[in-house]
Amino acid sequence: MIKEYVATYPSLLILLTLLIYGIGLALYRWGNKTVFLLPVVSGIAMTIGSLVYFDIDYSHYFDSVKIIHFLLGTATVALAVPLRNNFHLIREHAFPLTISLAIFSVLTPSLAVLSAWIFGAEQGVLLSLAPKSISTPFAIAVAESIGGYPPLVAAIVIITGAIVAIVASTVFKVFSIQHPIAQGFSMGMTGHGIATATAFEMSVTVGTFSALAMGLMGLSTSICLPYLVNWLFL
Cβ(194)–Cβ(162) below 8 Å: yes
In terms of CB distance, is 9 or 87 closer to other proteins? 87
CB of 211 to other proteins, least distance (A): 8
Q: What is d(CA 87, CA 103) in angstroms, rounded to the nearest whole number?
A: 23
In terms of CB distance, is 2 or 103 closer to other proteins? 103
CB of 62 to other proteins, least distance (A): 6
Sign, Cα dihedral of 121, 125, 130, 132: negative
In terms of CB distance, is 7 or 18 closer to other proteins? 18
CB of 26 to other proteins, least distance (A): 13
110: exposed, middle or buried (C-beta count within 10 Å: 0-12, 13-18, 19+)? Answer: middle
In terms of CB distance, is 8 or 74 closer to other proteins? 74
In single-letter form, the type of residue at position 167 comes to V
CB of 220 to other proteins, least distance (A): 12
> What is residue 134's three-state secondary structure?
coil
For 121, other C-beta atoms within 10 Å of its C-beta total 15
Q: What is d(CA 46, CA 53) in angstroms, rounded to the nearest whole number?
A: 10
Q: What is d(CA 229, CA 202) in angstroms, rounded to the nearest whole number?
A: 35
CA 97 to chain centre: 20
In terms of CB distance, is 7 or 66 closer to other proteins? 66
CB of 143 to other proteins, least distance (A): 12
